[in-house]
Amino acid sequence: MDFALTEEQQLIQDAAREFAQNEIVPIAAEFDASGEFPVETIRQAGELGFMGIEVPEEYGGSGLDSISYVLVMEEISAADAAHGTIVSVNNSLFGVPLLEFGTEEQKQEFLRPVASGEVNAAYALTEPQSGSDAATMRTRAERSADGSTYTLNGKKAWITSGPVAKYMIVFTQTLDSGGESVGISAFVIDTDKPGFRVGKTEPKLGIRASATCEIEFEDYVCPVENRIGDEGKGFKIALTVLDAGRVGVAAQAIGIAQAAYAAAVEYSRERKAFGAAIGSFQAIQEKIADMKMRIDASQLLVLRAAWSKQHAKKTGARNTLNSSIAKLYASETAMFVTHQALQIHGGMGYSKELPLERYFRDAKITEIYEGTSEIQRMVIGRAETGLR
C-alpha cells in the first residue's frame, strides 16, 4: 500500500498551505470577532481553483481528485475553520448534487459560476424543527397545473453562506397539482428572484465568519427545469450529498486539530515551569502523544474515505460507512485535541490573544453539522449489524 501523494496532490497541498498561511491566518481573528463574511479571501480561493476542486474543467472546476479535496480542506481549515466551511459547502454540498444528478444545462448555468469562484452557493436541508430527521421537513413545493413550475413556501434554518449565496440547492416536500404528496424533491434556486428572503443571521459559537442564517420562501416560483433529478427522489440525493460532505467535514476537523497540536507542541517547548520546559514533564508528554496518535489515525481514516469516495464514483456505490467513520473519529479528535492544547496553554489558552480558544470553539461544530456524532454511530451500527 502506497501512502505517498502524487506530484499533483503535493502541488495542490502546497498551494493551499501557502494561500492559507499568507492570506487567511492574518485576518482570521478579525473576521471571527466581527462575524463578517470574508469576501476577498474567498474570491482569491475561487481564483486558485479551490471552490470546485473535483468539478471537471468543462464546468469551471479544477478537475482534481477526492484526495486533493481533503488536502485543501485540511490546509485551509488549519488557518481558519470558517473559510473551510465555505469551501466545503461550494465543493461538496452544492457541487456534488449537480455533478451526480444535474442536467448538462444545470451544470453549465449553476455549477460553472460557483466552481470557478464567481459566485457563492448554499445548501438548504435543515429546518427549525427538522435537523437529523429530514423526513419531517415542512417546506413545500407545489407543482403547477401545467407542470411547468413549482411554487415554494416554507422556512429553512442553519443555512451556511445563506446571506451571500447567489444559488442554493433546496430540499422540499413536493405536492402534485392536486395537492397530493409525492415525496421530497431537490431544486436549485436563484436567490435574486422574488419570493426568497434571508432571515435572521445566527450568532454562532464558532466558525463565525461563515455567515449562517434562516431563509424563507413565500410563493417562490421555480421552473421545472431547475428540479434536480426525478420528482420525489430528493431524499436519495440528500443522502448521497451527505456521504460526500462528511469527508470534507472530517478533513476540516483534522485541520483544526493540526493547528491546535502545532501550537501546543511549540508552547510546551517554550513555556518554563520549575526550571524546565513544560514539554519535559511526563503529564504534558502524555497529552502530546495522545494528540499525535489521534490526529494520525484520523488522517488515515479520512484518506481512506476520500479514496473510497473516488472509487465509488466509478461504480455508483455509496460511501456511507467510510465517510461516517472518518467524520465521527476526526470530529471527536478535533474536540479532544483542542481541549488538550488549551489545557497545555493554561490561562493563555483561555485568552483571545492566542487562537487556541477559536480552535476550541470551531471544533465543536464538526461533531454536529452534516450528521451529529450520534447519527454517525447509528449509521455505523446499522451498517455493521444489518439491523434498523
Q: Which residues are catalytic?
A: 370
Distance CA 82, CA 286 (A): 30
SS (H, E, C) 117-170: CCCEEEEECCECCECCCHHHCCCEEEECCCCCEEEEEEEEEEEECHHHEEEEEE
Exposed, middle or buried: residue 190 (CB in 10 Å: 0-12, 13-18, 19+)?
middle
Distance CA 121, CA 42 (A): 12
Exposed, middle or buried: residue 147 (CB in 10 Å: 0-12, 13-18, 19+)?
exposed
The counts of H helices and E strands in the chain are: 13, 10
Distance CA 321, CA 298 (A): 15
Four-residue CA torsion sign, 384, 385, 386, 388: negative
Q: What angle, rounded to 10 degrees, do the helices at 320-345 and 356-365 form?
A: 150
Q: In this structure, are strands 196-201 and 181-190 parallel, antiparallel, or unpaired?
A: unpaired
Q: Which of 228, 202, 226, 224 is nearest to 214 (CA)?
A: 202
> 237 in the Ramachandran plot: left (φ > 0), alpha (ψ -120 to 50) or beta?
alpha
Exposed, middle or buried: residue 306 (CB in 10 Å: 0-12, 13-18, 19+)?
buried
Q: Which three cell numbers stand for residue 227?
A: 428540479
Distance CA 104, CA 160 (A): 26
| Tally of residues, the chain | 388
CA atoms in the 13 A half-sphere facing the CB of 315: 8
Distance CA 189, CA 223 (A): 9
